Amino acid sequence: MARPRILVVGAGFAGVECVRRLERRLRPGEADIALVAPFSYQLYLPLLPQVASGVLTPQSVAVSLRRSSRHRTRIIPGGAVGVDPMAKICVIRKITDEVVDEPYDYIVLSPGSVTRTFDIPGLLDNARGMKTLAEAAFVRDHVIAQLDLADASHDEEERASRLQFVVVGGGYAGTETAACLQRLTTNAVRHYPRLDPKLIKWHLIDIAPKLMPELGDKLGESALKVLRDRGIEVSLGVSIAEAGPDQVTFTDGRVVPCRTLIWTAGVTASPLVTTFDAETVRGRLAVTPDMSLPGHDGMFALGDAAAVPDLAKGDGAVCPPTAQHAMRQGRRLADNLLATLRNQPLRPYVHKDLGLVVDLGGRDAVSKPLGIEMHGIGAQAVARGYHWTALRTNVAKARVMTNWLINAAAGDDFVRTGFQSRKPATLRDFEHTDSYLTPGQVREHTASLNTRM
């Protein structure tokens, strides 16, 4: 009898935790596991702002899948672009652009999320994201390049536009990105004698009335004060009306000369969830508390792509798209897959949020572990301690700790590597959101597969 085939889509926090637990707890020969991942690493997303600011090297936050696994999982290098639940086939585009069909008995959908954008003139062509490792590396090079070009320029208007930076999004990603990069440019300008430090301006804007409302009023105000004391201009209730190559127009009418627009205004579920017919909640797959997909045999979903009921909060709440929830959902789902294989009852996912950490660079941070509000050095220790502990391999932990120590002792470096220096780097260039199939295309593809067989 053929062994059941478990296919896990996505190597984020949820998918990797699910695979790791399955590898540890499956009996020999009980099932085959395959993992669909475009890269050979799990990205530790919360530390991307530190990659963008040069505190950490890109390799530090790229946790090797093969080091963290027990080699029982077949890794398929590519991305899932469609799912046919009736045929139980996942359509995968490999990194060579070859399209292959992967049959499954059980599928775990954890494709994560992509940057959420809006119909704003010029946004897709002129904004840069902070969702992938390549984007963080590009943003670092781009910001340092603006200092180099401004220093070499004799045109005051050009210089002004190169020395103003706009970050859209007052959540964790945007706030940490603005804070870390502002610290980088503040330290770097000392090495540019022709540049007036007063000309460098960072803007952080968000349409919401509060900065990081999840922190609560007291810590949110504390974070806001830290940013403003460091010279970051924070504008709330404001967004982008138009984005051009050398200026940005805010919705309050201000026009800011700017050649660096970083867009972190939220995320939306991976387009993979739209490639088959299923109920969604605000764009995320509607699943039961045990993370199964109603009406779809052998299908489960979790992480950013799924609206997993938050039983700890109740009142119809769903779990926020955080690493903390994704990791724990991955472990619970692995247990539920084992229970399904062994004809045992499935258990719901229940987890109370343990708190939040926000690293603002240097000695600045705010944290709320277990409801305890902290700021300053203590909060920084908690934030970095949490991230360090969450890294899944000793090699990754060693690299991150070494980078932190080097940065603390030697300070920032301002080397520009030239990554994609002569190519446009738009949001679409990095996240490839145009590669997914429609439900009709998926059905047509699998139907032609049956005809060929």
Order of all β-strands in the sheet with 5-9: 99-103, 89-94, 73-84, 32-37, 5-9, 106-109, 299-301
Q: Please give the Cα distance from 93 to 432 (Å, whole number).
A: 12
Mean pLDDT lowest for which of 56-70, 126-140, 231-245, 300-314? Answer: 56-70
Domain assignment present for 101:
yes
| 196: its two tokens | 């007036």
**pLDDT of 453 higher than 60:** no
Q: Please give the Cα distance from 77 to 11 (Å, whole number).
A: 11
pLDDT per position as a tens digit, 408-418:
999 988 888 88
The reply to whether 231 and 273 lie within a common domain is no
pLDDT at 450: 61
Mean pLDDT, to the nearest integer, of 279-304? 96
Mean pLDDT, to the nearest integer, of 344-351? 96
Q: Please give the Cα distance from 112 to 16 (Å, whole number).
A: 12
pLDDT per position as a tens digit, 242-273:
999 999 999 999 999 999 999 999 899 999 99
The reply to whether 343 and 194 lie within a common domain is no
In CATH, what number is assigned to the domain containing residue 410? Answer: 3.50.50.100
pLDDT per position as a tens digit, 365-396:
999 888 888 988 999 999 999 999 999 899 99
Mean pLDDT lowest for which of 15-19, 158-162, 336-340, 441-445? Answer: 441-445
For 1, counting Cβ atoms within 10 Å of its Cβ (0-12 exposed, 13-18 middle, 19+ buried), the class is: exposed
pLDDT at 215: 84
Amino acid code (one letter) for 53? S
The reply to whether 262 and 145 lie within a common domain is yes
pLDDT at 85: 96
**pLDDT of 452 higher than 60:** no
Domain boundary, last residue among 352, 367, 394: 352
The reply to whether 319 and 277 lie within a common domain is yes
The reply to whether 90 and 227 lie within a common domain is no
Q: Please give the Cα distance from 356 to 267 (Å, whole number).
A: 18
Q: Please give the Cα distance from 382 to 375 (Å, whole number).
A: 10
Domain assignment present for 444:
no
The reply to whether 376 and 258 lie within a common domain is yes
Domain assignment present for 53:
no
The reply to whether 170 and 294 lie within a common domain is no
Domain assignment present for 201:
yes
The reply to whether 341 and 302 lie within a common domain is yes
Which residue in 215, 153, 148, 226 sits closest to 183, CA to CA?
226
Domain assignment present for 204:
yes
C-alpha gyration radius of the chain: 23
pLDDT at 33: 97
Number of domains in the chain: 2
Domain assignment present for 450:
no
Domain boundary, last residue among 317, 337, 352: 352
Percentage of residues in the chain having pLDDT higher than 90: 80
Which residue in 74, 69, 67 sits closest to 3, CA to CA?
74
Higher per-residue confidence, 217 vs 161: 161
The domain of 345 spans 5-46+62-115+268-352
The reply to whether 307 and 290 lie within a common domain is yes
Q: Please give the Cα distance from 182 to 178 (Å, whole number).
A: 6
In CATH, what number is assigned to the domain containing residue 19? Answer: 3.50.50.60
Q: Which residues pair with 318 in a beta bridge?
A: 309
Place 147 in a pLDDT band, splitting at 50, 70 and 90.
very high
Place 110 in a pLDDT band, splitting at 50, 70 and 90.
very high
The reply to whether 91 and 217 lie within a common domain is no
Domain assignment present for 446:
no
The reply to whether 95 and 178 lie within a common domain is no
Domain boundary, last residue among 329, 352, 375: 352
pLDDT at 435: 84
Domain assignment present for 427:
no
Higher per-residue confidence, 214 vs 76: 76
The reply to whether 138 and 222 lie within a common domain is yes
Mean pLDDT, to the nearest integer, of 147-158? 95
**pLDDT of 71 higher than 80:** no
